[in-house]
Amino acid sequence: MFSEKIFYNKKHLYILVFVLFYFWGLSAATIESDTAISQSKTVQLNSVTISSKLKDANIKSGSTGISIDIDDIKLLPKIIGDADPFKALQYISGVSQTGEAKSGLFVRGGNNDQNLILFNGIQIQNPTHILGLFSSFNPELTEQITFIKAGMPAEYGGCLSSVLDISTSLNIPEKFTLDGSIGLISSRFTIKVPIAKKISFYAAARSSYINLIIMPFLEKIGIDKDITSNKYGFYDINAGFNYKVNSKNTVSGHFYFNTDYLKMVNIRNLYLGNSKMQWSNLGFSLQHTSAFSDSFLFHQQFSLSNFNMDLKWADLLIGTTSKYNSTVYKADFTNLYRLHNFKYGVECSYNMSFPNFLEAAAVSNVQGSSEYNSIYSALTSLFFRDEINFKKLQINVGIRANVYFHLGDYTDYREGNNNVYYKKGKIVKPYFGVEPRLFIRYLLNNVSSVKFSASRNIQFLNQIPTINFGIPADFQMPASLYVKPQASWHFSGGYFHNFKNNMWETSVEAYYKNMENQLEMPNGDFMEIFTKNVEQTVLSGRGYAYGLELSVKKTEGKITGWLSYNLSWTWRQFREINNGKPFLANNDRRHNASLILVYKLNEHWDFSAVFIYATGSKMNLPLSWYVLGEKLMLEYGDYNAFELPAYHRLDLSVNYKFKSFRRFSSELNLSVYNVYNRKNPFQVYYNTTDGFGMSYLLPIIPYLSYTFHF
């Protein structure tokens, strides 16, 4: 089993261990003063607390990724009423805009499911509301955001593309606080209550009512009825507590729930069968941190997460359900010793996936099966990493070892009714994988640095889209008897330079990523998921992506903002598709640019704008058609050879802060999404009467909101 392609070569493992101990011994032999060691410890321990961002953080930042300053986020355009931290990530270099109503993150050629998104340790499957307009994270609760797109440290696993780690504050507030926002689409309220000097409680709720105000208004001003007749809605709830047991121990807990619903009838001749869709995330986490000494920290957490998706085509009398449940325990130690920052620990999870279940009325033309499998799995990962800090050189080297079991209850459906049954708890298929990680940063001088990373990543949970737009209508397909885990090698390097006392930040980065065991449905036909042996139906292939990323950011002055540009190629290759030749993936975008501008006129007024441009994504459409007998025949050329028109959009926002009165402060925001009402392609349809046509979904959307803090 170790010979499978997914598994790591033993020779490479020996090389990695040698490198690890070489640098360990080299740094241990280096003589540094006690003062220098003390300073190193102080910097590292600050990384586990909330601290302000250094001006040259982009130059000195290491493998822990980009720490996003929440105060900076609040100055970004308040599109649809909120300065959304998750949306801000979609404008940085390396992250692609994939089109109208495409939610999530598409990082360096990866799919949306190849990101690990954590909220207080809870794994979130769908991080957005209303086709990506809102994120699922309440901005008033978000305290710290870490985004890692390259050089992922060994404590993170289970994803190929990136890590987004979001957490709330552990501080105990001195007074009761109330924050809220009332708008035309949604409203939210957040409270933080100090119960005692050592205990605090917080809660937040948000709900939408877009169908009551915005949609009737858009219909009256002449916006397409095919758009305004659709129904949208969402709400989310957060609650938690912080308990400082003593000076060395902290306990915290968090509860999270969000749900969305969408009812769609027709969109520009695209018949959706009077579809009704609903999806939700439910999660809970409990965390404990203990500081044994100034240089030895222990952290453990327990989390539960649940994702549900229900999709029904009422007129077609069919529906499908997909679920994923996960229980995770993680424990790690952080140990500072001389120039080293060690982190090592274990992560264990037990998972249940319900890939698909079809309900079809007897009168429908779709034949489902009453026999289906839930897929149970268990994963144990051991990780170790050492971050070594010299004066100019930082090296983060680590390794992550995984043991994964596909478990029964499971039936292997075979031809001729020769089925094989595995009872509950029995091992159906084991997988083992090793992930070496390496990150190097070298300071050329006080204003410039170079960075390089190489990492092996393995992902045991796959998601296969059933509908090509921004709802999580994907079915969960973990590694199992017939489906291997995904894996990738990711190489990245860049040059970072600041100008004018760190007022201007610039960077250029290049990357290459190869991806193994990528999944596709045969001919892109999502109806294939309704078979009882869906694991044997999906196709497995490979992919690779490469590109160049440029970024320029202005951090001070009345006008601030940034410009990011990506030049990239994303390929897939399947033996059964395109005669085995490589083809451009659906999420391939040759050029992708984002421009963010913020103008702070005075202490009351600020203005902001977002402009986005991306070349069109790829689709597989027929070149011609003809009728043979009574059957319509379609002729195709190269796979995914059709390119949609370019995507571009301008959003504007004006914010006015009223004069504060004692503890009460407030502001009024007016924003406009898609200012010039660009009809960005949402879906392409084809029929013999009209030929090709395109539909769009999100028109110009004005928004007014009032936010207050008490």
Residue 58: CATH number of its domain: 2.40.170.20
Do 332 and 345 contact (CB within 8 A), yes or no?
yes
Q: Quick check: is 321 in a domain?
A: yes
Cα–Cα dist 33/19, whole Å? 25
> For residue range 109-163, what is the model confidence (pLDDT) as tens digits?
888 889 999 999 999 887 877 666 677 788 788 888 888 998 899 999 999 999 9
Q: According to the model, what pLDDT value does residue 174 have?
A: 87
pTM recorded for the entire structure: 0.84
- Is 3 contained in some domain? no
57-99, pLDDT tens digit by residue?
788 877 666 777 666 666 666 666 566 777 778 888 888 866 6
Using the predicted structure, report yes or no on whether residue 19 has a pLDDT greater than 60: no
Whole-angstrom distance, CA of residue 8 vs CA of residue 617: 34
Least confident stretch, 191-200, 367-376, 489-498, 519-528? 519-528
Q: Residue 523 falls within a domain, yes or no?
A: yes
> What average pLDDT does range 180-184 have in this prediction?
86
The DSSP letter of residue 107 is B
Q: C-alpha angle 631/637/640, rounded to 5°?
A: 110
Quick check: is 2 in a domain?
no
Q: Alpha-carbon distance 668 to 673, whole Å?
A: 17
How does pLDDT run across 329-348, given as a tens digit for each residue?
A: 999 999 999 999 999 999 99
- Sign of the CA dihedral 450, 454, 457, 462? positive
In sequence order, which residues have a C-beta less than 8 Å from that of residue 484 and are 6 or more positions away? 4, 5, 6, 431, 516, 517, 540
DSSP state of 661: B
Mean pLDDT of the chain: 80
Lowest mean pLDDT among 168-177, 346-355, 464-473, 530-539: 464-473
More confident of the two residues 511 and 639: 511
Cβ burial of 595 (10 Å; 0-12, 13-18, 19+) is middle
| Domain enclosing residue 28, as ranges | 10-709
What is the spatial distance between Cα 223 and Cα 217, in angstroms, rounded to a whole number?
9
Is the pLDDT at 527 greater than 90? The verdict is: no
The confidence band for 1, taking pLDDT boundaries of 50, 70 and 90, is: very low
Considering Cα of 685, then 690, then 692, then 693, what sign does the dihedral take? negative
Domain assignment of residue 107, yes or no: yes
* Mean pLDDT computed over 560-573: 94
Of the candidates 172, 191, 466, the residue with the CA atom closest to the CA atom of residue 310 = 466
- Residues 306, 257: Cα–Cα separation, whole Å: 9
| Domain assignment present for 1 | no
On whether residue 4 sits in a domain, the answer given is no
For 250-319, the DSSP string reads EEEEEEEEEEEEEEEEEETTEEEEEEEEEEEEEEEEEEEEEEEETTEEEEEEEEEEEEEEEEEETTTTEE
Q: Whole-angstrom Cα distance, residue 99 to residue 680?
A: 8
Tens of pLDDT, residue by residue over 681-710, are 776 666 656 666 676 777 788 888 899 999
Q: Among 577-586, 646-655, 690-699, name the one with the lowest average pLDDT.
A: 690-699
Structural domain total, the chain: 1
663: in domain: yes
The yes-or-no verdict on residue 560 having pLDDT over 70 is: yes
Provide the 8-state DSSP code for 523. G
